[in-house]
Every structure is written in structure tokens, then in C-alpha cells.
């Protein structure tokens, strides 16, 4: 029973999340390939022996395979010949019309980039659903800490106080508090706050500080000297149009943060042991599933963005590596020779394999602390 409980609580959430993300990615490749006139022979969720499958009208074999750790789309005509029982034969003119390698560079690039784009689109859809149904998480105007010697300390504010209004304007969210205070540098403002069940009033004079925006323009703002309580979170629902736009903004911003984070690791500004692999993803999937549907869907959106970005890296074996080959072909007017492409894919395979080993090592050593557990067993 304990094993069944472990599988249900840990393995099932991980496989559920992974299957959704991989299906969306491969569906992107499949959909654009069909729009470009390429025959798709196989659409597989998972690897290995087929468990169940069926053929559609276009001749594609849809199947669920035994090893649910990924998936693939196999397109017709990945070379200039077709394998048959008696050996290989050249493609006919009709077969070239539906062959992937005989499509233009632009169409092949569109098919390849469609996978990562599908992951970004999935993230946008998931986030839009969250913003429209559950709402977007926002910090409530509750004081988490008060800086010593600040305007808030002089006004008598304490951790746990809930700010009701500032300068006569209601504060529904902590961002409202921050904005209003910033608009009153050095000016006394009236604060209404609740401490427990008692509502109180005080006056604070925000400290003046000078900041520069992205254009280098300097301006003065007011600072109260408080931080938000991270445990005090509310949810704001949006109408479908606003929810869709907010989800796009969030996806773009999150992509930028992920790339910045990876860049910091590359230059050594952040420790590389923060990188997680499949075991960490499985652990977090279980934790998010235990936290409820909202947490799980939000985690899926973040993972989908990660998957889309990683596949765009210019590494052979990944979609980004294919795009580099296509760009080279477009510039040269002809594709790289077969040997160069083969060496490139071998290098990419080795690099991806080493990255997987590195991420799994981080999972075992830093996240699951396997060495510490081993030491406890032998001492």
C-alpha cells in the first residue's frame, strides 16, 4: 500500500505534467507539418513498444507507448530513400511532394519552431485560465516588516498591520500602497490601518529618494519603509480579454527571467547546483499537486515555458540546432554535407546527455541529499 501511495502521490503527477507538455510540443510540430503538406507517419506519446494505437484518415499512426517519458513525431521522407523489405529505393515524385526534407527551408523551419511555440501557447492558455477563473495572485496590503528608522516606524506601524487607505485612497493591494506612497515624497499623508479588529489612523511622511528609470531620467519618489507579508496573498480575476493579455505579459516576463537566471549561472553569478533535473521536476510536481489544482496548473505553465526555451537553444538534437542548420542552408544556398550534420548531431547528443547527468547529479546531491542519507546509514 505504501508503494501504491508513493506512485499515486509522486509518479502520477510527474507523468501527468510531462505528458501534457510533450503532447503540446509534438502537436505543434504535427499541426504545422500537416499545414505544410508533409505526411506524418507516427505521433507517439512515450517511447518503446506500442500499448495502444490507431490510424487516422491521413495515414498517421497515433499511439501511446510503454515508456511515458517523452514522445515524438515521425515525418515521412527524412532522407532521399525509403526503406522496404528488399532494401532502399529512391523517393518517387509524388512522395517528394509530402516529404519533409524536400520542403523549402522556410517550411522546414516553421515545422521545427512550431514545437517550442506550442509550449509558449500552452503556457499562455493555462495562465489565462488561471487569471480568468482563479485570479492572478497579488500581495495584500499587509505589513511584513518595518525598516528601523523609516517613515513607517516613525508613524508607529508594525508587522501584521493591514493598510486600509493612504491619502484618502483605498488600498486593495500592496502595489496600491507602494504607488500612492511613491507619489508623495516628503509630504505628510494620512494612513488608515487595521491592527487586529481595531482600525486606527496615523500620519506618515515618506522619505524622499531619487531613482532613474530605464531611459536614465531621474525623479523623486517617496518610501515608507515597509515590506509586504509574503503569506498574505489575494487573487484578482480578470475578464477574458485582460486575462489573455496578462498571460502573454507574464509568459514574456517569465521567459526573460529564466534566460537571465541561466545567464547568471553561465557567468558564475549564481551557483550551478541550483539547476534541477527530472527528479527535481518529479518532486515539485508532487508538491504542486498536493497544493491544489491552481498550484499544479501554474507549475505546468512555468515548465512549459522552460521546455519551449530549452528547445530553442542552438544545440544539435534540439529544435534550435535544426534551426541553425536551416539558417546555414539559407545563407549558403545548399545544406551542410551529411558528415557535418552527423558530427553536429553526435556532439549535440553528447552535450544533452552530459547536461542530463549534471542535472540528475544536482538532484541527488543537493536536492535529495543522497550522500547525507548514505552517511547516516553507515555511521
| Residues with a known catalytic role | 26
Beta bridge partners of 75: 40
| 89: three-class secondary structure by DSSP | strand
- Cα(211)–Cα(218) distance, rounded to whole angstroms? 5
All three cell numbers of 204: 506618515
DSSP state letter for 167 = T
Q: What are phi and psi of 232, to 5 degrees?
A: -100, 95
Q: Residue 4, Cα to own-chain centre: how many angstroms?
A: 30
Cell 509534438, located at residue: 26
| 55: three-class secondary structure by DSSP | strand
DSSP state letter for 347 = H
- Cα(62)–Cα(52) distance, rounded to whole angstroms? 9
Q: 197: which residues sit within 8 A by CB, 6+ positions away?
A: none
DSSP per residue, 239-301: -HHHHHHHHHHHHHHHHHHHHHHHHHHHTTSS-GGG---HHHHHHHHHHHHHT-HHHHHHHHH
All three cell numbers of 323: 534551426
Beta bridge partners of 139: 233
Q: What are phi and psi of 290, to 5 degrees?
A: -65, -25
CA-CA-CA-CA torsion sign (248, 250, 253, 255)? negative
DSSP per residue, 110-177: HHHHHHHHHHHHHHHHHHHHIIIII-EEEE-SBEEEE-TTSHHHHTT--TT-EEEEETTEE-SSHHHH
Amino acid at each position: 500500500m505504501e508503494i501504491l501511495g508513493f506512485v499515486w502521490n509522486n509518479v502520477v503527477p510527474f507523468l501527468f505534467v510531462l505528458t501534457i507538455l510533450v503532447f503540446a510540443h509534438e502537436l505543434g510540430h504535427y499541426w504545422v507539418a500537416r499545414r505544410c503538406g508533409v505526411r506524418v507517419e507516427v505521433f507517439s506519446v512515450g517511447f518503446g513498444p506500442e500499448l495502444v494505437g490507431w490510424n487516422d484518415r491521413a495515414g498517421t499512426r497515433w499511439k501511446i507507448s510503454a515508456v511515458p517519458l517523452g514522445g515524438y513525431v515521425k515525418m515521412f521522407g527524412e532522407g532521399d530513400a525509403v526503406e522496404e523489405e528488399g532494401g532502399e529505393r529512391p523517393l518517387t515524385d509524388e512522395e517528394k511532394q509530402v516529404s519533409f526534407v524536400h520542403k523549402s527551408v522556410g517550411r522546414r523551419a516553421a515545422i521545427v519552431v512550431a514545437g517550442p511555440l506550442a509550449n509558449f501557447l500552452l503556457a499562455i492558455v493555462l495562465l489565462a485560465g488561471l487569471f480568468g477563473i482563479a485570479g492572478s495572485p497579488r500581495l495584500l496590503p499587509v505589513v511584513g516588516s518595518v525598516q528601523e528608522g523609516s517613515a513607517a516606524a516613525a508613524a508607529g506601524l508594525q508587522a501584521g498591520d493591514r493598510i486600509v487607505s493612504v491619502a484618502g485612497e483605498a488600498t486593495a493591494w500592496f502595489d496600491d500602497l507602494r504607488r500612492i506612497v511613491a507619489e508623495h515624497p516628503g509630504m505628510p499623508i494620512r494612513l488608515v490601518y487595521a491592527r487586529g479588529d481595531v482600525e486606527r489612523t496615523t500620519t506618515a511622511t515618506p522619505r524622499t529618494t531619487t531613482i532613474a528609470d530605464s531611459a536614465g531620467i531621474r525623479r523623486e519618489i517617496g518610501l515608507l519603509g515597509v515590506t509586504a507579508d509574503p503569506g498574505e496573498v489575494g487573487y484578482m480575476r480578470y475578464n477574458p480579454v485582460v486575462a489573455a493579455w496578462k498571460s502573454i505579459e507574464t509568459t514574456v516576463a517569465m521567459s526573460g527571467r529564466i534566460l537571465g537566471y541561466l545567464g547568471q549561472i553561465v557567468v558564475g553569478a549564481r551557483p550551478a547546483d541550483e539547476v534541477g533535473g527530472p527528479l527535481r521536476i518529479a518532486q515539485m510536481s508532487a508538491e504542486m499537486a498536493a497544493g491544489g489544482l491552481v498550484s499544479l496548473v501554474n507549475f505546468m505553465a512555468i515548465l512549459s515555458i522552460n521546455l519551449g526555451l530549452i528547445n530553442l537553444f542552438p544545440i544539435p538534437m534540439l529544435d534550435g540546432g535544426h534551426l541553425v542548420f536551416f539558417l546555414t542552408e539559407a545563407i549558403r544556398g545548399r545544406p551542410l554535407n551529411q558528415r557535418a550534420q552527423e558530427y553536429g548531431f553526435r556532439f549535440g547528443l553528447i552535450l544533452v546527455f552530459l547536461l542530463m547527468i549534471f542535472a540528475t547529479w544536482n538532484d541527488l546531491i543537493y536536492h535529495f541529499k543522497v550522500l547525507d542519507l548514505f552517511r547516516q546509514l553507515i555511521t
